[in-house]
Amino acid sequence: MAEKLAIMLVSEEYEKSHVASMIASVAAVSGIDVSIFVTGNAVYNFLKKNVEKKNFTGGKLYDLIKEKKATLFYELFDQAKMLGGLKIYVCSMVMDICGLEKDDLIDIVDDHLGLAAFLGIMEGAETITF
């Protein structure tokens, strides 16, 4: 089993963030260090204003998750952070392009950093991209 897992979130599709949060949660609880890098359109899922309004782009699964009032992706990430080694980073280039500040992001985000810094963090890690 890997000791480190790196997940790159690129898409704003809700389902991809949800699956990433499920994988990250199980890995973190299993003692694997997990690092999430949020870049591209995925940043929109981590904005306070979108989380507060549950304003996500999703398909049938997202509709069912809302209907059943199931645990949402950011809640799963938060639980994983409390139970294991999980860090969430947002791409600083995307933040600059979008004119975002750290205060615009939900509290589960640890920091923002560049891709080169994240590549250093993920050295030797199993990697998944959504």
The two structure tokens encoding residue 72: 């949402």
Cβ burial of 124 (10 Å; 0-12, 13-18, 19+) is exposed
Q: How far apart are CA 51 and CA 49, in angstroms?
A: 6
Tokens 């640890």 found at? 110
Number of domains in the chain: 1
95: domain CATH number is: 3.40.1260.10
Phi-psi bin for 116: left (phi > 0), alpha (psi -120 to 50), beta?
alpha
- pTM score, whole prediction: 0.94
For 88-129, write each residue's pLDDT tens digit.
Answer: 999 999 999 999 999 999 999 999 999 999 999 999 999 999
For 47-97, write each residue's pLDDT tens digit.
Answer: 999 999 999 999 999 999 999 999 999 999 999 999 888 999 999 999 999
Range of the domain at 21: 4-129
Phi then psi dihedrals of residue 33, to 5 deg: -75, 125
Tell whether the model's pLDDT for residue 6 goes beyond 70. yes
Phi then psi dihedrals of residue 7, to 5 deg: -120, 125
pLDDT of residue 85: 86
H-only helix segments in 47-103: 48-53, 60-68, 73-83, 92-98
